Amino acid sequence: MYKAKAFAAASPTDALAGTLIPRRNAMETDVQIEILFCGVCHSDLHTARDEWHSIMPTTYPCVPGHEIIGRVTNIGAKVDKFKVGDVVGVGCLVDSDHSCPNCQHGFDQFCPDAVFTYNSVDKHGTAPVTYGGYSDSVVVEQNAVLRIPSNLDLAGAAPLLCAGITTYSPLKRNGVGPGKKVGIVGLGGLGHMGVKLAHAMGAHVVVFTTSPSKRDDALKLGADEVVLSTDENQMASHMNSFDMILDCVSAKHDLNSYINLLHRGGNMTLVGVPEKPAELNAFCLIYGNKSLSGSMIGGFAETQEMLDFCGKHSITADVEVIAIQQINEAYERMLKSQVKYRFSIDMASLKNG
């Protein structure tokens, strides 16, 4: 066991601050990684402040971060997938049982024994829970480590490990491609990735936003059209025309108005998590055999597939690179949507305390 530098929350109301955390030494199938960049996800904030207490209570100290890009510094004796010096990634999961039906079908994230990158029971007993990527290093079982395409900017690649797979998985599952019309609701950290990926898949992409000022940005990201969702005429002009709508909004909004835009057999997938339950008019789904579904990240294999796709199409997130000492300010700015479109922490800044 060794001590690693990290930034952690000591309680729901404490700001994140520098500390030392235990990390296990690399075992036979482990990969030790020097963390270079770590993306900042809204889940980090929710967990650090224990806002999901009823579902996943936070154990303190809490070290968030599940969008990790780093360089391999050490490997266990039986590691055969990576070598020292490789640039790799770690996403929302660091382990699963690899044998249950979910794992066998590529849905490791739903494994009953899944170990999430932070705030999950540490099966090795190094600490009460796993500690995430707001740290100078991490040790991960090789099956949870991902290869990062060499052509991708590393700071921009970090959010692919969560925001990228969160949007890629439902787009792929719904057969998004040439000839398909896809709507993206919201142009934030998730939404901007949805636009880039759907565009690269060859779909006709329409962005829905409440902010007219986001029109130019949406078009630059790859949207073919931009619809002001508060304009009834603009919304009505797209009735019954979408194959799929990806809803990336975590604030309260009317789902029914978007479901009405799906054509027969169309699907709307939720990846945003509003605080309060939504009201749903069942007739919106019944008329037209439409479906409403949710999606949560992806398994190890699908996440690697997403990274390879992003490498092929030179896709990364649009990021603002920050020092770890700016993380508390970044959380407040996230709450106010004052970032385009994700924060990425340069973990070299951790050396400064």
Q: What is the DSSP string of 26-69?
A: P-TTEEEEEEEEEEE-HHHHHHHTTTTTTTSPPPSSB-----EE
232: its two tokens: 């009834």
The per-residue DSSP string of 239-256 comes to TT-EEEEEE---S---SH
For CATH 3.40.50.720, the residue range(s) in the chain are 165-294
Q: Is the pLDDT of residue 353 over 70?
A: no
Backbone angles phi, psi at 2, to 5 degrees: -140, 170
Q: Is the pLDDT of residue 144 over 70?
A: yes
Taking residue 311's Cβ as centre, other Cβ atoms within 10 Å add up to: 18
Split at pLDDT 50, 70, 90, the class of 54 is confident
Question: CA angle, 39 as apex, 35 and 41 as ends, to 5°?
Answer: 135
Angstrom distances, CA of residue 103 to CA of 108, 250, 298: 4, 28, 11
CB 118 within 8 A of CB 66: yes
Taking residue 301's Cβ as centre, other Cβ atoms within 10 Å add up to: 13
Q: pLDDT for 298-322, tens place per residue? A: 999 999 999 999 999 999 999 999 9
For the domain with range 2-162+298-352, which CATH number is right: 3.20.20.140, 3.90.180.10, 3.30.70.270, 1.10.10.10? 3.90.180.10
CB 284 within 8 A of CB 121: no
User: How is the chain split among helix, strand and coil, in percent rounded to 5?
Assistant: 30, 30, 45
User: What mean pLDDT do residues 60-89 have?
Assistant: 97
**What would the CATH number be for the domain defined by 165-294?**
3.40.50.720
CB 160 within 8 A of CB 307: yes
User: What mean pLDDT do residues 217-244 have?
Assistant: 96
Reported pTM: 0.96
For CATH 3.90.180.10, the residue range(s) in the chain are 2-162+298-352
Between CA 7 and CA 327 the distance in angstroms is: 9
Split at pLDDT 50, 70, 90, the class of 130 is very high
User: What mean pLDDT do residues 331-342 have?
Assistant: 93
